[in-house]
Amino acid sequence: MYSKEQFAKMLDSTLLRPQAVWADVVRLCDDARRMHFASVVVFPFWVSLAARRLEDTDVKTCTVIGFPFGANTRASKIFEARNAITHGATELDIVINIPALKSGELGIVQREMTELVSDVHMQGMTSDSKRTLIKIIIETAYLTDQEKIAASRIVQDSGADFIKTSTGTAPTGATVEDIRLIRNTIGSGMGIKAAGGIRTVEQALAMLNAGANRIGTSNAVQIAEEFDPDAFLAESRKRPSSPSEQRESTDN
């Protein structure tokens, strides 16, 4: 079981509501500093504000690129990424080209991802910024299982740090089944960020137990505050064992 500190450090506190204003972003950053989240995720417009607010803290500033469908041109995504880094972003959540992927244009998707990751890494090397962590959103809600596998392999080959399930704008978000499928596809060598529709501690823990390393949620403060490792450990001990566990107990 995770400690409260470990659990909080796996949460990305997200604010991607178009009606959010300056005060909402400030509150997001102040809460993240207090809770010691992994990052805050904001629109590119708010990156400078978030980076200033989080300066000299352990919370990273993350923004979205090609949001929400990834259907921008490769050149525009590269510009977005460079601009975000220049203004203080240290993590990028980049949306894969969903229409190209659905059209079977895997070569186009592969070239775009590889070039984006390479350019972002080079940008970090040639500026004062630290290395930028890259998460690629594949938007599982729109993909078949075979497309999820293909997208996961492309992201893995690109050199990105994480595969992220969802933007939070699709009809559905992260599922335990998708986390398991992605983890079985890529192995243990890279991260998985579960996002979209995660509103409770139970949901977050289910994603982590299935193989996720990071949780993206707009409900991060409530989830972190409600997480009680001792209570959840005690509750898990009370739950009835599965039939297979019962058989093992009988055999022993």
Q: β-strand 11-15 against 162-164: which pairing, if any? A: unpaired
Q: Is 4 a catalytic residue?
A: no
Query: The tokens of 6 are what?
Result: 């470990």
The tokens for 136 are 């690629």
How far is 88 from 252, CA to CA, in rounded Å?
Answer: 58
CA distance 194 to 10: 10
Q: Could you tell me the CA-to-CA distances from 240 to 39, 207, 244, 245, 246 in Å, in that order?
A: 36, 21, 11, 9, 9
Pick the catalytic residue: 60, 135, 148, 193? 193
Q: Is 56 one of the catalytic residues?
A: no
- Candidate list 93, 148, 161, 178, residue with the active-site label: 93
93 carries an active-site annotation: yes
Q: Which of 9, 135, 148, 164 is catalytic?
A: 164
Which tokens hold the place of 109? Answer: 């998707």
Catalytic machinery residues = 93, 164, 193
